[in-house]
Structure 1
């Protein structure tokens, strides 16, 4: 039995589709099962509730061989510990109690770098990994770089203003990966019963690009000029607060972005394997995902 958490999310639903296609028994944990496609509800066992709830994960992990663990965002959490380790602790206890054999999670780059101790969300994510690994399960942390799919959050200004924004320098080279590639690696691991031990798998995407590089690609694919504009950290803080994000989570975001600016993601040397594991180029992603989203507005 393979358990998939966050099955309606951007990554989780893609992992679920791949595992179901392989014909393996699947159990999903969903707050609102009505959000699952009817075909999924017919083919997968559904445990309703939050995977941060001890009773829910006890039901979900009983008899499970493998778990895909994906932390849901909690923008209003009082602390990073509450949002990451606190949420995960009941699941870690259930993994140990029910003898789960293998766990795959989505984490972040940056371990063993000088910046990891104060990298906000990344620091908290790495602590979550350690909590899971400490249960004794075989564990694979998918250490992902920035997501190409995050650009979708700015579809409206891209279409209406020809602009997108962030706090990172426009010429700062970044590792970016498509969520569909993360899902493909996760599903492959969940379906493979042979691996053991603990390992981080860096998912870098096939190329390093700056935001100026991305703007040029977006412009070319959309056939209209699009520019990147760097904004001050204070402006981002103001926007996040306006959306109801807690002070602790805002600081976690700002610390992560500062660490990335200072080289958090750069420690892993790129190899040909990274392009094999995460082959989707930013141009291809723009053609397949961003362009249809812009046209749909």
Structure 2
């Protein structure tokens, strides 16, 4: 039995499809259980093939029910900007950690971040909180793998309107800073392999770095070519970012955590792991633009 949290999100939905279509899973009659607040958000084709536990996976009663009889769990915390970073990550995860131990779950694959072991890891805001969450899970004694991810290509989907309307996307990192970036589908594929294998033990990080390091200027160049329209990068200052986040009514500590994470990325947070065949992943940014961003930009301009 594999339990999937956040099955309707970007990563979870990819993972769920991979598991349900896996020949390995079918060959051994692997059962899949999902924890979801609103089962109606699951596609009909999926809902009939999984066991559904309704509720939040931050709720002690829900995870106690969801982890009963489970062999493996996919753990993803949806960051809640109304909370402090510690509450959003470790606070949310503590009920699950107790349930993992109580039900003797053997394996957990979680989504985390790059940065462990770097000089800035202790002052990286949300990433520091995420690494503490990894330690909390590992402390239960379960076999644990934290998928150490850089920034996702999919973050750009939040800027589809400005890319289409003004040819601009923003971030708070140096325009020329080359860092790893990854498609969520690649992260889900690594998670699926780990959840179906389960021959591993102990705890550790599994970096998923994408095929190449790219700067914001590189992204702009590739988007310009792929979308057939000029796209440029506009860097936002950390002070501007902080003011914007507070304007969205985020918890002040959470807003500061985002700022600290961006500052740490500028100072080498994502540069602590070397890309190898084992840590790289296949989807290029150009491929992702063709498959995902391009259609989204076109759809945003389609009259309704």
The offset of 1:123, in angstroms, is: 0.4
Is residue 223 of structure 1 aligned with residue 228 of structure 2? Answer: yes
Counterpart mapping for 1:56-205 below 5 A: 56-77=62-83, 79-205=84-210
What is the rounded CA distance, in whole Å, between the counterparts of 1:293 and 1:237 in structure 2? 28
- The aligned counterpart of 2:36 is 30
The offset of 1:234, in angstroms, is: 1.8
Q: Cα deviation per residue 1:261-289 (whole Å; 9 max; x = unaligned)? A: 000111112223233xx110111111111
Q: Contact 1:206 / 1:274 at 8 angstroms: preserved in 2?
A: no
* 2:284 aligned to which of 254, 266, 281: 281
What is the rounded CA distance, in whole Å, between the counterparts of 1:272 and 1:245 in structure 2? 39
Q: Cα deviation per residue 1:128-159 (whole Å; 9 max; x = unaligned)? A: 00000011111110000111110111010000
The offset of 1:237, in angstroms, is: 1.6
The offset of 1:168, in angstroms, is: 0.6
* 1:206 aligned to which of 211, 224, 232: 211
In the alignment, structure 1 segments of 5+ residues that lack a partner are: none
Which runs of at least 4 in structure 1 moved beyond 3 Å after TM superposition?
A: none
> Structure 1 length normalisation: TM-score?
0.97
What is the rounded CA distance, in whole Å, between the counterparts of 1:194 and 1:231 in structure 2? 45
3-state secondary structure, aligned to 2:73: strand
What is the rounded CA distance, in whole Å, between the counterparts of 1:269 and 1:195 in structure 2? 22
What is the rounded CA distance, in whole Å, between the counterparts of 1:193 and 1:186 in structure 2? 11
For the aligned residue pairs, the C-alpha RMSD in angstroms reads 0.8
Q: Contact 2:148 / 2:207 at 8 angstroms: preserved in 1?
A: yes
Q: Contact 1:144 / 1:204 at 8 angstroms: preserved in 2?
A: yes
3-state secondary structure, aligned to 2:199: coil
What is the rounded CA distance, in whole Å, between the counterparts of 1:180 and 1:245 in structure 2? 28
- The aligned counterpart of 2:17 is 17
What is the rounded CA distance, in whole Å, between the counterparts of 1:83 and 1:142 in structure 2? 18
What is the rounded CA distance, in whole Å, between the counterparts of 1:117 and 1:73 in structure 2? 19
> Structure 2 length normalisation: TM-score?
0.95
Q: Cα deviation per residue 1:212-268 (whole Å; 9 max; x = unaligned)? A: 010000000001100001011122122222222111110000000000000011111
Q: Contact 2:169 / 2:233 at 8 angstroms: preserved in 1?
A: yes
In the alignment, structure 2 segments of 5+ residues that lack a partner are: none
What is the rounded CA distance, in whole Å, between the counterparts of 2:247 and 2:48 in structure 1? 40
Q: Cα deviation per residue 1:12-66 (whole Å; 9 max; x = unaligned)? A: 1111111111232100000111111111111100000000000000000000000
3-state secondary structure, aligned to 1:171: coil
